[in-house]
Structure 1
Amino acid sequence: PGVFAEEMEGLLTLAAQNVTVDVQRAGGVPSDGPVVIQPGDLLWTDFGVVAMGLKTDTQHLGYVLRSGESEAPEGLRRCLANSNRLQDILLAHMEPGLTGNEILAGALAQMRSEGIDGTIYTHPIGDHGHGAGPLIGRWDAQEGVPERGDVVLLPSTWHSIELQATTPIPEWGGEPASCRQEEEAYLDEAGERHWVFRRQDRLHLVW
């Protein structure tokens, strides 16, 4: 008695882990000391949730509105759109039977042909934040990942689609911003790709 209830309580408990926040702005941020969030900042967070024995790994972007603004600058919205396009490219190349390195090479080639400056570092997810299966790039290994990159992609698997697109921002005098995203997607039994929930395609606005 009580054992099942305790097990269910453990499964249904939500827990956040490894929450990270970063700030980008025109002119850069101080390299040392605390950074105070200001209007006009591009915010990035990396966080995970644990529930029912499964883990998520997610990165989202937000913008702190300046006085009189009701939307983020066009340049930052373009940055997010480029990152979204890179997500589309990567998912299109995630064919079951290919290795992580083969998927990476094909996706990067198409990315460059479309004029996007980006990086891909995608990993499996499930019981662990970084699960078993093929790595599709690392931030420091865009030419391919030894060993883990040679693992074949299988259907019926879940992956954190983790990547970034760097875009010059006209409103920042041409300085670049990096739109880093991470969203969960899965391959069904037929190998078709789907977002687990949905991806971010609009910046979160902070008033």
Structure 2
Amino acid sequence: MLKAVALISLLFTSLLAQASYFDTSPWPEIRKKRIAVLLPNALNAAQVDAWLVICRENNNDPLADHVGCENAGQTAAFLFYNHAGQFHSMAFSPSGESTALRDSQLLDEVISVERSGSAIDMVANYINEKNFNKVAINISSTNAQADGLSYTQHIALSKALGPEASKRLVSADEVVYQWLSIKLPEEIDIMRKAAALTAQWQIEAYQEIIPGVTTDADVARFLKAKMKAAGVGDAWAPAQNPNVNSGTDRGHSHATNKVIQAGDVIQTDFGIRVYDRWVTDIQRFAYVLKEGETEAPEDIATYWQNAKQGRHAAFSAMKPGIRGIDVDAAQRKVMADTGSLPLMWSTGHPVGYVAHDTGPNLGGSKAVSVRPAAQRKLAVGMTFAFDGFYSWHLPSGEPKTISVEEMVHITEDGAEYLIPPQEDLVLVKAEQQQ
């Protein structure tokens, strides 16, 4: 088990950090800026006149709280459009919610909808009056974040617009892609601080391991306790976060009761959610020293260097205008040159509001089928989690992979790490003090 003192003390260690860092969410102001600054560009890039988001209670659109309709009770319609060189944001909001929405000063205009009225009918009339050429709606077969319009809402909207205007409805795939894939500098700063905590806690967890006693699940519980004390959430499915694995590859999975032994290479894939908004995705690796060892043996040290070499190749390839598939290819070349086993996973993925966010996929160069997002180009303001891979066979014949996962954002000059990358394996002593 982990040190009893550590388990007790960690419940209190992050209270000061919580008070100073996680107090008041900056999301309201950041959301306002994202709508005013980034959304007009997204509409232009997507070549649509308007974007319509229809919201409702209990089963809301995935982007409801990105546009301001997270509190919808009755149906609400939020419309964003460019017209005559000006950007406009407006909502047709139920009367019971319109006052609070107006007070938030998020949108240019809020039109109250009486309880007997229909927000869908009202926005349809407005769209017909403006005679927009293309109106984007949240239907998508490739991006769940852009697929929030329900079947019945789609039917009601089409009926309200009429057959001719309904022909002008298009998928909001491109609008959502262009908008969500770019993060403001303020958001990147928040993710940078969260990434530092994510990595720090993993190192602290490794320092508490007692070989032959501590299990992978014990390490996961340590990190869960850290999260609870600091008031942060999970970056992905709680049952699989963190994924602590001292044995053979398990992919996306939960930590098991496997006892950590001398000679093990430990992988921890861990992410936190701060302000209930931004997430991290970072992996840290450790080696458990055998009796008499003071450093990792030559083979493990070589595998680690190979993985870092792949990470460096991917990092160097990440520049504005480069396709995601080309970043993956740079890393795969190193894998081939160093004799790594082939792997199914992409080199990297966008990260931000969710662990696998909207943006270019850093994969596909060796895959049977290539995700369309792998053909997308990197741009300034995008944020990624990416791996340097090296995989080999354990004595049992099963595969083991080092995946040196870090977080970066894209600048005009290329990629920039959010926090310093892991350069050395964490060494767990054969007999740590109990």
* TM-score, with structure 1 as normaliser: 0.77
Identity of aligned residues (%): 26
Number of aligned residue pairs: give it: 190
> What amino acid maps onto 2:268 in structure 1?
T
Greater relative CO, 1 or 2 (CA 8 Å, sep 6+): 1
Change (3 A) 1:74 1:8: closer
Which of the two has greater helix per residue? 2
For residues 38 and 181 of structure 1, the distance between their equivalents in structure 2, rounded to whole angstroms, comes to 21
Aligned pairs for 1:46-125 (under 5 A) are 46-52=269-275, 53-109=277-333, 111-112=335-336, 114-117=337-340, 119=343, 120-125=346-351
- 2:425 is the alignment partner of 1:200: no
Structure 2 contact 310–334 (Cα < 8 Å) conserved: no
Change (3 A) 1:62 1:8: closer
Change (3 A) 1:115 1:144: farther
**Aligned pair partner of 1:148 in 360, 373, 376:** 373
C-alpha displacement of 1:46: 0.5
C-alpha displacement of 1:167: 4.4
> What amino acid maps onto 1:15 in structure 2?
V
- 2:417 is the alignment partner of 1:191: no
Change (3 A) 1:79 1:176: farther
SS at match of 1:9: coil
Q: Over aligned residue pairs, what C-alpha RMSD do you find?
A: 3.1
Which of the two has greater strand per residue? 1
Change (3 A) 1:164 1:106: closer
- 2:359 is the alignment partner of 1:128: no
C-alpha deviations, 1:5-31, integer Å up to 9, x for none?
Answer: 9x9625495525310111137xxxxxx
> What amino acid maps onto 1:104 in structure 2?
D
For residues 105 and 62 of structure 1, the distance between their equivalents in structure 2, rounded to whole angstroms, comes to 27
Question: In the alignment, which residue of structure 2 is the partner of 1:181?
Answer: 404
C-alpha deviations, 1:15-51, integer Å up to 9, x for none?
Answer: 25310111137xxxxxxx8421111111111101222
> What amino acid maps onto 1:201 in structure 2?
E
C-alpha displacement of 1:161: 1.2
For residues 244 and 22 of structure 2, the distance between their equivalents in structure 1, rounded to whole angstroms, comes to 32
> What amino acid maps onto 1:148 in structure 2?
A
**Aligned pair partner of 1:22 in 240, 245, 249:** 245
- 2:162 is the alignment partner of 1:162: no
For residues 288 and 360 of structure 2, the distance between their equivalents in structure 1, rounded to whole angstroms, comes to 37
For residues 109 and 43 of structure 1, the distance between their equivalents in structure 2, rounded to whole angstroms, comes to 25
Structure 2 contact 323–377 (Cα < 8 Å) conserved: yes
For residues 194 and 101 of structure 1, the distance between their equivalents in structure 2, rounded to whole angstroms, comes to 19
Q: Which runs of 5+ in 1 are unaligned?
A: 26-32
Q: Which runs of 5+ in 2 are unaligned?
A: 1-18, 26-189, 191-229, 235-240, 249-255, 430-434
